[in-house]
Structure formats: C-alpha cells, structure tokens
C-alpha cells in the first residue's frame, strides 16, 4: 500500500489537525509506504504573503516531525520543490471537465457570490489535488468527510485518462481508495460545537495549538463553551449537546479509548470536574510535541535539508508516471505511446537553442520579449 497525503502550510498545527490527520499519518508509517507533503502550491490559489508562506512551510515541517513523522521512514517534502505536480496538473486539465469542477462543494463555499473574482487556481485546485496523488500511483489517500468529493474527482480523472489514452491492460494511473479514520476525524471549535476547529477562526481561544504551553492549554479548556447540565452516563445523552460531545470526543481520542468509557468515568459529573481532567490529559500528551517543535523550528538548515531530501525522493518516484502520461498524450519527450501510431518527437532533429538567436532578442539568450520559458 502506498499512501499520499498533504496539508497546507497555513500556520501552526492545531489539535484538529493532529487528531484528524497527523496522528493517523504517524501510525501509517508502521505498515505502509508513505509520502506526506506541504501543499504550498495550493496555498497560492488565494491571497498570501510570500514571506509568511515560506516561514509557515518550515514551521509546519517542524511540527510534523515533532508529531512523529519520520523523514527516514516517510517521504516528506514541500510540493513546489517537485515541479512534476504542476506539470501533471496541466496534463490532467485536458481530461478534467468544467462541469465536474463546478460541482465541487468546496469551490462553491470558498468562492461564495464572487466567483468571477476568484483565481483560476482556486477553481482548478481539485485537479492539482488529483495530480498530487496520481503522480505517485497512490493506492490509498487519508481523507476527511469534507475531502471525499475531491478524491472521487481524482478517480474520475484517472479513469477517463486511462480510458482515453491507455489500455485496460496497461493503465497510466492507479485509482486510489479513501482511508477515513474511524475516530476523531472531526474536532470542533472550543467556542462553537457546530463549527470545525480551524486556523482561520479569528479567536485563538477556539483551538488548541500544538505550540500552546501548559498554561495556555489549561486556560482554553477552562473557558471552552459548555452547557450547565452534567455529563450523561451513556453516549445517547450527548445528542443535541454539541459542545459537550466535542469535549468528550477529544478526551476519548487523546486517551485512546471510546466515548462510552469516558462517560462511564465522568457520567453524572459536571464540567467543573471534567475540564481539569481534560486539560491535564492534553498537557500530558502534547507537551513532548511542543518541546520537540520548539527545538526543531530553530534549526532552519536542518528543516531545509529534510524537505530537499524528500523532494529528491518524490521526484524519483513520480518521474516514470509523468513520462508515461506525456507519452500517452503524444507529447514529445522521447517516449513512445503504449497504443496508437504517434512516434517520438524532437529526437533526431532537435533544435540547438544555444545557436539560434530569437527574433526580437538582444542576443542575451533570454528569448523574445514577452515569451514564456
């Protein structure tokens, strides 16, 4: 099994990221071949500050390693260091359909009523997501419920490409299956049990950051929104109590137990007893991560080396798939399509660009003004 998954470098990881994705990534390293990447190409689909993006990429790398992602066992890299992702996205743009992208729920949510004002990158974001996993022949992709539609699109693109340009006996792309974590896949805000815990929430009190120290964690848990009723003794009693259910779910996930077991211990007790216990559990589990993160984030050279090593490995793993995609499309990279009569191009009569002075150039090798290179 080969697993591929990515996360945007939009700032520090929080508890929702850790329980919903990262902790599962760490466990997957034990039994699967894993590639994890920082999706910095996805990050430029919306307004961003370049200096912050590069800093956040390093910080996220430090956080992932602190959480247990091992660069010696998994391939860890930032997307922009492997240009094959962007190349494959362009090839897949010819297969993806406007109607498919228009139906993407996240596109509708993010674009809102100002679709005409959004970037093309935001609209084609799911095609880059497809390229991210298809490039490496991923067999499985960890996804939350909100990303299932995008993985289904990746499968549709892969299937159509295989049907149109390859054969059933020798498909270009593997159709990946989803891995949906069975527990704690969705951690909610500490201030609103109906909203997902998010970095974009303006209130820092809504989330537990993995960079929070013990005092900050205890303060946030103490001020977390709850209701006046004691905890029930059975899971059914949490229905209609979103905030209570969220805190109990967090406790269960951090303790490695079930909601029923938590309620067996705390049923009938108020939040005055439960919140301190939850805070202490979070501090106990997260403090080692925080300490390791603080140490790692100060070593910029080491973080850059981790990303460069992963990018080199990622490029090696993805090259064969990209070359096959070019060949099957009949594009000139010296390969032969698996079927059809198109012959390799640009092999015998390659132009020596260093001997040609482009019209309109100043002889400086930069090509005509306004050209794309």
Check residue 224 and give its pLDDT.
97
Cα distance between residue 320 and residue 15, in whole Å = 37
Q: What is the distance, to the nearest Å, from the Cα of residue 165 to the centroid of all Cα atoms in its chain?
A: 29
Whether 220 is a known active-site residue: answer: no
pLDDT at position 334: 52
Instruction: Single out the residue of 41, 6, 37 nearest to residue 141, CA to CA.
Output: 6
**Domain-by-domain residue ranges, the chain?**
2-186+299-326, 204-296
pLDDT value of residue 10:
80
Answer yes or no: 196 catalytic: yes
Catalytic residue among 113, 148, 160, 196: 196
Query: What backbone torsions phi and psi does residue 76 show, to the nearest 5 degrees?
Result: -120, 125
- Which residues in the chain come in under a pLDDT of 50? 184, 339-373
Tell whether domain 2-186+299-326 is in CATH 3.40.1260.10: no
β partners of residue 37: 6, 77
CATH class of 204-296: mainly alpha
pLDDT at site 109:
81
The pLDDT tens digits of the residues spanning 66-106 come to 999 999 999 999 999 999 999 999 999 999 999 999 998 88
Catalytic choice (199, 225, 285, 313): 199
pTM of this structure: 0.82
- The pLDDT of residue 21 is 85
**pLDDT score recorded for residue 228:** 95
Identical fold, 2-186+299-326 and 204-296: no
Q: Which residues contact 239 (CB under 8 A, 6 or more apart)?
A: 245
Q: What is the reported pLDDT for 333?
A: 66
């Amino acid at each position: 099994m080969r697993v591929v998954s990515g996360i945007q470098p939009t700032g520090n990881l929080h508890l929702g990221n850790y329980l919903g994705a990262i902790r599962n990534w760490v466990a997957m390293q034990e039994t699967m071949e894993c590639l994890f990447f920082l999706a910095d190409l996805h990050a430029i689909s919306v307004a961003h500050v370049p200096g912050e993006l590069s800093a956040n990429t390093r910080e996220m790398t430090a956080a992932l390693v602190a959480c247990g992602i091992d660069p010696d066992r998994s391939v860890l890299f930032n997307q922009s260091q492997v240009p094959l992702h962007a190349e494959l996205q362009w090839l897949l743009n010819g297969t993806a359909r406007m109607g498919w992208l228009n139906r993407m729920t996240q596109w509708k949510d993010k674009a809102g009523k100002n679709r005409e004002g959004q970037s093309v990158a935001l609209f084609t974001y799911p095609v880059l997501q497809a390229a991210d996993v298809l490039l490496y022949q991923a067999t499985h992709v960890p996804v939350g419920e909100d990303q299932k539609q995008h993985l289904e699109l990746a499968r549709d693109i892969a299937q159509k490409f295989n049907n149109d340009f390859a054969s059933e006996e020798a498909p270009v792309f593997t159709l990946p299956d989803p891995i949906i974590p069975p527990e704690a896949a969705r951690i909610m805000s500490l201030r609103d049990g109906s909203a997902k815990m998010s970095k974009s929430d303006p209130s820092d009190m809504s989330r537990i950051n993995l960079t929070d120290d013990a005092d900050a964690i205890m303060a946030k848990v103490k001020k977390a929104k709850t209701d006046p009723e004691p905890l029930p003794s059975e899971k059914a009693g949490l229905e209609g109590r979103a905030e209570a259910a969220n805190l109990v779910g967090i406790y269960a996930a951090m303790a490695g137990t079930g909601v029923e077991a938590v309620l067996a211990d705390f049923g009938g007790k108020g939040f005055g007893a439960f919140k301190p216990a939850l805070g202490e559990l979070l501090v106990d589990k997260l403090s080692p991560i925080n300490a390791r993160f603080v140490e790692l984030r100060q070593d910029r050279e080491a973080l850059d080396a981790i990303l460069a090593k992963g990018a080199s490995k990622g490029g090696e793993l993805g090259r064969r798939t990209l070359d096959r995609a070019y060949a099957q499309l009949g594009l000139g990279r010296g390969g032969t399509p698996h079927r059809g009569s198109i012959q390799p191009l640009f092999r015998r009569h390659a132009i020596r660009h260093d001997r040609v002075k482009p019209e309109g150039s100043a002889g400086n090798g930069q090509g005509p003004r306004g050209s794309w290179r």
